[in-house]
Structure 1
């Protein structure tokens, strides 16, 4: 075999090895399989490995969030049946369908890195203060960095019950468009009244958009 032929074969072997390595790397990033449509590794976790109970203790104390609503046996939205996430206040498990059952609920979907979300959250807190027990505002953090979410809420001074949902299970169950912030309005009879993929800047805006759908005044 001539030297030029040997060099050609050696080059082909290197190219094949590089292609195989690249294929394996791409496959490893898509744990669901398929052609890139599955969850990425970061989106498949509720929170980061670094967000241990010990690591979250300080941020939780700083955020000082109220507990998540007590579960109810009233009929809840069938879309949320069996959806279980974490309550950010204490790390306990939360059955979302049971938490919202029998209540007029405003679900606010957000992430710590979202600028419009940071502008909207204080308006949601003010809206909750005005409405009192007639409506429950429940925020849903949609990123795996739970520490950053708690610190953001502490920074904003927003104290609303919050679910940690890094896998975005709530949004998927309710078919919420992939935008943030987004608001879902749930009636006390367990029906979905509205899905609002938009940002609000004031409590007045929120009330005008959601109260008629729930049949409440305020």
Structure 2
């Protein structure tokens, strides 16, 4: 056998060995998955929820008709809820995203307001960002507002909220929903009180 033929044979054997090594094998074990909680959420998401320590999402109210039937995930516990059921009577709804810098200061103000005696309920609605990122940001900010993630963007569409963030809406005792235009971004608890009355 000539020297060239030997090298050709060695090259062919190496190619076949490479193909065999990369060929998928039936009966092999499935790839390892991340551990899940009882509710089916990844363990790292559960850890993020624990670190954020958000106040529970309220439920049981009839809420504004414009939001009835719209589902969102409560960031505090990962459960689906009807958004209207979290907004009985007068309430403030705030749309935010993790990439929105003005949202961060406003979330702190809203959280401080929500802890005051006589405050109306505040519901933070996360949009355009991932659930884990939202939980991480809320934990970093020390904000513990009840919050939902609106992955389908249905809540924002239902109230005709603008794409610009942050955006806040006042839910009236009669179920009406109106955008807060002054101020566009809350910078103090006094501003929030002035709007909600």
TM-score, scaled to structure 1: 0.67
1:72-83 paired onto structure 2 within 5 Å:
72=61, 74=62, 76-83=63-70
Structure 1 residue corresponding to 2:48, chosen from 59, 68, 89: 59
Do 1:83 and 1:97's aligned partners in 2 also have CA atoms closer than 8 Å?
A: yes
Do 1:85 and 1:163's aligned partners in 2 also have CA atoms closer than 8 Å?
A: yes
Other structure's SS at 2:106 match: helix
Q: Please state how far the C-alpha of 1:144 moved relative to its aligned partner.
A: 3.8
TM-score, scaled to structure 2: 0.74
Cα RMSD of the aligned pairs, angstroms, is 1.8
Could you say which residue in structure 2 is the equivalent of 1:124? 110
Could you say which residue in structure 2 is the equivalent of 1:86? 73
Structure 2 residue corresponding to 1:95, chosen from 82, 85, 99: 82
Larger Rg: 2
State the number of aligned residues. Answer: 157
Q: Which runs of 4+ in 1 moved over 3 A?
A: 193-197
* Pair 1:60–1:202, CA change in 2 (3 A): same
Q: Which runs of 5+ in 1 are unaligned?
A: 1-50, 212-218
Q: Please state how far the C-alpha of 1:114 moved relative to its aligned partner.
A: 0.7
Do 2:170 and 2:177's aligned partners in 1 also have CA atoms closer than 8 Å?
A: yes
Structure 1 residue corresponding to 2:94, chosen from 99, 108, 117: 108
Structure 2 residue corresponding to 1:175, chosen from 157, 160, 163: 160
Q: Please state how far the C-alpha of 1:104 moved relative to its aligned partner.
A: 1.2
